[in-house]
Amino acid sequence: MSRIGKQPIEAPKGVEIKLDGNTVNVKGPKGQRSFTAPDDVVVALNDGAITVQPANDTQRARQMWGMSRTQIDNCVKGVNEGFTRNLIIQGVGYRAQAQGKSLKLSLGYSHDIDFAIPEGIEVKTPKPTEIEVSGIDQQQVGQVAANIREWRKPEPYKGKGIRYADEYIFRKEGKKK
């Protein structure tokens, strides 16, 4: 039995859920998302709560059971609260500035990097060394944050680079004389 899959998903106040076959449409204050569950699971809407059950007793159906429930729950959380990923820039002269639909990064290269922000994602820079990526799609928020981090990964000797706010960089000792 899937411990995750058997939990019902309660719709918070202000979130509207519609079920069309195995497609779940979720509409909330931040936007609208939909998820189509695979044929291996059965999605039901009872009294404002969504339940997901496996269609049969195969291994694939059990795998899709928990995954589908989590995806639907992420849709509900995304349209209600949204998802945020924070990045910290560390290094002398390294900074970021959000300008409309692009993010200007100065990361020690001979040129500045203009990172195009995709549709549905909002990027803020509260400080020149902090980047806040937010949106209603958890996967897209994480991917954009990873793409920004890819420009200058943190190095283990001085810790310079772009890192996640909750990330710990294991520091190495430099050369000894």
Burial of 60: CB neighbours in 10 Å, binned 0-12, 13-18, 19+: middle
For 81-132, the pLDDT digits (tens) are 999 999 999 999 999 999 989 999 999 999 999 999 999 999 999 999 999 9
- pLDDT value of position 6: 86
Asked if residue 103 belongs to a domain, the reply is: yes
Same domain, 92 and 159: yes
Residue-number span of the structural domain to which 60 is assigned: 9-80
Whether the Cβ atoms of residue 89 and residue 95 lie closer than 8 Å to each other? yes
Strand partners, 43: 52
> Do 141 and 152 sit in the same domain of this protein?
yes
**One domain, residues 49 and 98:** no
Looking at residue 106, its amino acid is S
Same domain? 28 vs 89: no
Residue 21 has pLDDT above 80, yes or no: yes
pLDDT band of 48, cuts 50, 70, 90 = confident
What token pair was written down for 60?
Answer: 């694939």
**Does residue 51 lie in a domain region?**
yes
Q: What is the pTM of this model?
A: 0.87
Instruction: Indicate whether 69 and 106 sit together in one domain.
Output: no
Do 160 and 88 fall within a single domain? yes
Q: Percentage of residues in the chain with pLDDT exceeding 90?
A: 79
Domain co-membership, 19 together with 74? yes
Q: Kindly state whether residues 14 and 71 are assigned to the same domain.
A: yes
* Domain at 59, CATH number: 3.90.930.12
Claim to verify: residue 99 and residue 141 sit in the same structural domain: yes
Q: What are the tokens at 127?
A: 């400080």
Q: How far apart are CA 162 and CA 144, in angstroms?
A: 13
Question: Contact at 8 Å (CB) between 22 and 39?
Answer: yes
* Residue where a domain stops, chosen among 20, 49, 80: 80
Q: Are 75 and 87 found together in one domain?
A: no
Q: Which residue has the higher pLDDT, 29 or 4?
A: 29
Q: What percent of the chain lies above the pLDDT cut of 70?
A: 99
Whether residue 152 is found in the same domain as residue 90: yes
Residue with tokens 């400080």: 127
Domain membership of residue 1 (yes or no) is no
The residue assigned the tokens 């960089």 is 169
Same domain, 105 and 43: no
Distance CA 137, CA 159 (A): 30
> How confident is the prediction for the chain on average, in pLDDT?
92
**pLDDT computed for residue 1 by the predictor:** 64
Residue 135 banded pLDDT, cuts 50, 70, 90: very high
Residue 175: band (very low, low, confident or very high) from pLDDT cuts 50, 70, 90: confident
